[in-house]
Amino acid sequence: MIHADFIRRDEQIVAFEMDGHANFAEQGADLVCAGATSIAFGMVNAISEKMGIEPVMEEEDGYLYYSVPEDLEGNEVVQILLEGMEHQLISLAYSYPDYITINSKK
């Protein structure tokens, strides 16, 4: 199962962590894993390109941690992108509740 955690400070998303494998299908054919990965990396790339920065993240097989740079915490564009990502993952979890969970930590 994929677990996605959104970490907030003062109601703003400051980081997210995603780990695990959906195991919906075999590797290379797992639509849930591909969807979650595309959503997460798409948002990290969108923030990087829109804000002109390199992402601050850790990644390895089945694990991704992204931290918003301190000087961008609370930035409206960054927050809209991260909240959009959260809602996309929630939609994916709604359709595939046995394969992905979303948590929001304050």
| Catalytic residue list | 21, 33
Alpha-carbon distance 16 to 9, whole Å? 12
CA distances to 38, 76, 78, 94 from 46, rounded to whole Å, are 12, 14, 9, 24
